[in-house]
Amino acid sequence: MSFRRIEDAPSGTTALVRVDFNVPMKDGVVTDDTRLRAALPTIQALRERYCQVILVAHFDRPKGQFVSSMSLRPIVEPLSKLTGTPVVFVEECVGEKVWTAIDGSQRDSVILLENVRFEPGEESNDPAFAKQLAEHVDIYVNDAFSTAHRAHASTEGVAHILPAYAGKQMERELDALEAALGNPKRPVMGIVGGSKVSTKIDLLKNLVTQLDKLAIGGGMANTFLFAQGYEVGASYCEKDEAETARAIMKAAKAAGCELLLPVDTIVSVRMEHGAPVFTRALGELDADERILDAGPATVKRLLAAMDQSATLIWNGPLGVFEIPPFDAATVAAAKHAAALAKAGKLIAVAGGGDTVAALNHAGVVEDMTFVSTAGGAFLEWMEGKPLPGVEALRG
Domain boundary among 123, 139, 168: 168
pTM, rounded to two decimals: 0.87
As a whole number of angstroms, the distance between CA 56 and CA 65 comes to: 16
206 shares a domain with 130:
no
Per-residue pLDDT at 1 exceeds 80: no
233 shares a domain with 114:
no
**pLDDT tens column, 256-270:** 999 999 999 999 999
pLDDT of residue 394: 86
Of the listed ranges 93-97, 293-297, 348-352, the least confidently predicted one is: 348-352
**Which residue range(s) make up the domain with 195?**
184-382
Residue 376 is among the residues annotated as catalytic for this protein: yes
Residue 353 is among the residues annotated as catalytic for this protein: yes
354 shares a domain with 290:
yes
- Taking each helix axis from N to C terminus, what angle separates 353-362 and 328-342, rounded to the nearest 10 degrees? 80
Catalytic residue among 353, 375, 384, 385: 353
Q: Provide mean pLDDT across the span 165-171.
A: 96
220 shares a domain with 340:
yes
221 shares a domain with 90:
no
Domain boundary among 134, 168, 202: 168
Look at residue 176 and tell me if it is in a domain: no
**Domains in the chain: how many in total?**
2
Look at residue 203 and tell me if it is in a domain: yes
**pLDDT tens column, 323-345:** 999 999 999 999 999 999 999 99
pLDDT of residue 315: 94
Angle 288-290-296 from CA coordinates, rounded to 5°: 135
CATH of the domain at 84: 3.40.50.1260
Residue 256 is among the residues annotated as catalytic for this protein: no
Catalytic residue among 97, 131, 196, 385: 196
Domain boundary among 168, 196, 224: 168
As a whole number of angstroms, the distance between CA 164 and CA 8 comes to: 10
Look at residue 265 and tell me if it is in a domain: yes
Catalytic residue among 5, 18, 35, 290: 35
Look at residue 164 and tell me if it is in a domain: yes
Whole-number average pLDDT of the chain: 95
User: How would you write 233-245 as a 3-class SS string?
Assistant: CCCCCCHHHHHHH
229 shares a domain with 117:
no
